[in-house]
Amino acid sequence: MTVLITGGAGFIGSHLAENLVAEGYRVICIDDFNDYYDPRIKWENIAGLQARPEFRLVKGDITNKETLEELFSAWNIDQVVHLAARAGVRPSLRQPALYEKVNVGGTINLLEQCVRHQVKKFIFGSSSSVYGEQDKIPFSEEDRIERPISPYAATKRAAELICYTYHHLYQLPVICLRFFTVYGPRQRPEMAIHKFTSLIYQRQPIPLYGDGSSSRDYTFISDIVSGLRAAMDRNFGYEIINLGNSSPIQLKELVRLIEEALGLKARIDFQPPQSGDVTRTYADISKAQKLLGYHPEVPIEEGVALFVDWFKRNRPCPAAHHVA
């Protein structure tokens, strides 16, 4: 089977690609290696895959229709796992048009190709950010979500809706997976666990927005890959499914776990809450358990220790921290 992974040189994409190649799948990776963070990190992510005959890299942009037409015409693609996106809540406040172009327009371009070339399944990497500020917890796929609080969240929700439209019009099987704060080895450098670990390690202050009581449902990368693989192996018409750990932790407790794993004390620089950031995330994973047999296995304490161990062995270049 041939699988196209968009954003395949990124954090989640490269882990999925490694998993698939190890099992003998042919994997086509498309990535534009943009400067959201140091592109060298992405090249390092796929360094171990480049020599594998099952792996092919296309350096290209999903907003370029000609590039996608050439790609889909050259390969008989069975499934698309669409992970490419402009990521991050705060940068989306500064560049909303770019987020719409990539996250919505790029998704439409891919869906068009899937219909034209009779792709068997489309899996879309969505985000817990679509839930916005919810009073009801945990967050369920059945919740009404009509008030996203950042352009990033709005574009992810818009992409889910356009995915449904293409399923309805063309019977394209689609699964939208709402990821809840994924972390682990090779996590993007601007994300909290990686950023805090790096700054504490360098004996620099860490910026903490709010009073530290906000909470996130952190999900280890191996659990996300397990959920993705289960989605690839099962057949549905159109489904939206949460992939989380269903065990949120407060920011101040997360910092304590990182301190413990590093054996260092954090210097905290308290900052006002940031626009676009939600107070909490908390995944109801009962649907994932029922439909995908999904059962996260890595608790946050173990996951943070695994990440810190990786970080110590693979410290990134200082340029990786230019995105706040």
For residue 166, indicate whether it is catalytic.
no
Cα distances (angstroms) measured from residue 65 to each of 85, 110, 186, 211? 16, 9, 30, 45
Cβ pair 116, 109 in contact under 8 A: no
Residue with tokens 């649907």: 287
What type of residue is 89?
V
> Burial of 25 by CB count in 10 Å (0-12 exposed, 13-18 middle, 19+ buried)?
middle
Residue 305: CB partners within 8 Å, gap ≥ 6?
257, 261
152, 183, 218, 282: the active-site residue: 152
Distance CA 144, CA 139 (A): 10
Phi, psi of 280 (to 5 degrees): -160, 155
Strand partners, 179: 127, 243
Distance CA 125, CA 234 (A): 16
Active site residues: 152
